Amino acid sequence: MEVIYPRCCGLDIHKKTVVACVITPEEKEIRTFSTMTEDILAMVDWIKSKRCTHVAMESTGSYWKPIYNILEIEGLNPMVVNANHIKNVPGRKTDVKDAEWIAGLLQHGLLQGSYIPSREQRELRELIRYRRSLIEERAREINRMQKVLEGANIKLASGTTDILGKSSRAMIEAIINGEEDPAILSELAQKRLKNKKEELKKALNGLIGPHQRLMLKTQLAHIDFLDEQIALLDEEIKRRMLPFEEDLERLDTIPGVGRRTAEHIIAEIGTNMDQFPSAAHLCS
């Protein structure tokens, strides 16, 4: 069988160890390293000492990511391969180690690498995914706050669409500070809510205990903290998105697609559509 890459390496990555198999015209050698940074760097030096030009590994959880990053920096042409694709290639013997099998397939050009975005795009993707998780956590905390209010029979949501709007927040802060009089609480209404004072008096007439006040105070502080962190991420993402401003504006013209959604789309798929053979490939 034709040899495409005469000097290559296959990696079998686990949580605590990496098994590396180097194949060259002179020899085949297998070594095991730990996943600590010092040992990963030692493995990379060993691979380079064998003058390997390409390295392949399975996409095992997230364990491959730090190793891929280092290999990429060192210019070793890393390739991440779907585990099912490796298993479906016929001819494997039962006593062949995973790393050795990967190296053998790579040597003969029988592996198809998965699409891995550039380092800049991967970092942007991580930032945007983390921001999304914080936004989702913020929504969950608001729901928990709503449950505490409902548990105290305070129907604030029936009188306002946003329980963290200016009026609602002022009322919640007053409740946390010990105010219980519905008439006084309803006076904190602003703008259009002023026309609903009678309705608010009924909604704010509840029975709240000290533990519920403590929970509301903790939840409100958590939401404020999340708002601060989301704002920090917004600034960093905005800075990294400057080269894509024109693409963002174009995506923003799509009905239902706002700024954050447009940023998410670019972070996930990039702007170069040539890397996707078809629309179905992009969607997958």
Mean pLDDT score across all residues of the chain: 90
Structure tokens at 120: 């800049």
| Domain ranges within the chain, ordered by starting residue | 8-107, 119-270
Structure tokens at 171: 């009322």
Report the pLDDT value the prediction gives residue 91, as an integer from 0 to 100: 64
d(CA 101, CA 23): 11
Superfamily of domain 8-107: ATPase, nucleotide binding domain (3.30.420.40)
Which residues lie across from 20 on neighbouring strands?
11, 31
- In this predicted model, what pLDDT tens digit does every residue of 79-104 receive, in sequence order? 999 877 777 676 665 545 889 999 99
Ranking 135-144, 169-178, 274-283 by mean pLDDT, the lowest is 274-283
pLDDT of residue 158: 77
Amino acid 254: pLDDT? 92
Confidence band (pLDDT; 50, 70, 90) for 114?
confident
- Give the helix/strand (H/E) hosting 193: none
pLDDT, tens only, 16-37: 999 999 999 999 999 999 999 9
pLDDT value of residue 284: 64
pLDDT of residue 228: 98
Mean pLDDT of 134-161: 91
What confidence score (pLDDT) does residue 10 get?
Answer: 95
Which residue type occupies 146?
Q
| pLDDT computed for residue 92 by the predictor | 65
Distance CA 202, CA 52 (A): 75
Residues of the chain above pLDDT 90, percent = 66
- For residue 274, give every residue at least 6 positions away whose Cβ sits within 8 Å of its Cβ, in sequence order, or none: none
